[in-house]
Amino acid sequence: MNGLLLKLLDDQYGEPGIWFVKLFTPIILKLDCYYWCFDQQPWASPPDSFADHPNLLQAFAGDQESGMMLWKTRTLGRYARYFMSENIELWAIDSAKCDPAELARQYVSSDESGKEQIIAGHAATLLIYTDATSWEIYSNQPNILQTVRGHAQCMPSSVKVFDSHYDRRPSAFEQAGLSDVLG
C-alpha cells in the first residue's frame, strides 16, 4: 500500500491529536466513512464524552480479552483530537467490502504475520503515529494521499513529506533521517 511519512519538524502543536487535526482535516469526511480498528486505546483514558457513549464502539468476538477497539463510522472525526498515546496505529475497514466485526475478530485471533496480511489485504487506509516524530498514512485511494500531500506541503516549517510504502517503511524513515525511531 502506497503512503506518506509526514515528519513533524517541531512539536509546537503538541499531542498527536492536535497533529492529527492539523494534518488530516482535509480528508476527515472520507476517513469518517470507515470503521476504525485500534490495537490499543489511543489515550490513557477516554474523554468523558466518549466513555459515556458505548454505542460508538462495535462489539466483536474477542474485543473484551484483547483490548482492541473497533470504532463505528463517524467516530474518528469527533474523537481524534483527543489522541494522547505515544504510539498509535489505526486502520480503516470499508463496511461495503467486508464485515468490520468479523474482520476485527480475525485480526485479534491472528499472529503478527496474519495481522500484517489482514491490514495489507483489507485496510482502506492505515494511520500510524510515532512518538513526537511522525504520522504515516497509507491508502489504496491515491486521491487521499494527494490531498494530504498537498495540504502538508503548505506547512513547510512544520512538516516534511516523504513517499513511503507499507512494506518498506524503514526506507522512508531512513530517507527522513528517522531510522533510529523504528529501532
* DSSP track, 38-89: ESS-SSSS--HHHHT-GGGBPP-TTHHHH--EEEPTT-HHHHGGG---SEEE
Q: Are 35 and 73 in contact (CB under 8 A)?
A: yes
Cβ atoms within 10 Å of 28's Cβ, excluding its own: 14
Q: Which amino acid is at 175?
A: Q
Question: pLDDT by residue (tens digit) across 117-150?
Answer: 999 999 999 999 998 899 999 999 999 999 999 9
Q: Are 74 and 34 in contact (CB under 8 A)?
A: no
> What is the rounded CA–CA span in Å between residue 153 and residue 13?
17
pTM: 0.93
* Per-residue confidence (pLDDT) for residue 40, from 0 to 100: 87
Q: CB under 8 Å to 23, separation ≥6 — which residues?
A: 6, 135, 148, 151, 152, 159
Cα atoms in the 13 Å half-sphere on the side-chain side of 18: 9
* Per-residue confidence (pLDDT) for residue 66, from 0 to 100: 78
Q: What are phi and psi of 36, to 5 degrees?
A: -125, 130
Burial of 121 (0-12, 13-18, 19+ CB in 10 A): exposed
Question: pLDDT by residue (tens digit) across 58-82?
Answer: 888 877 777 789 999 999 999 999 9
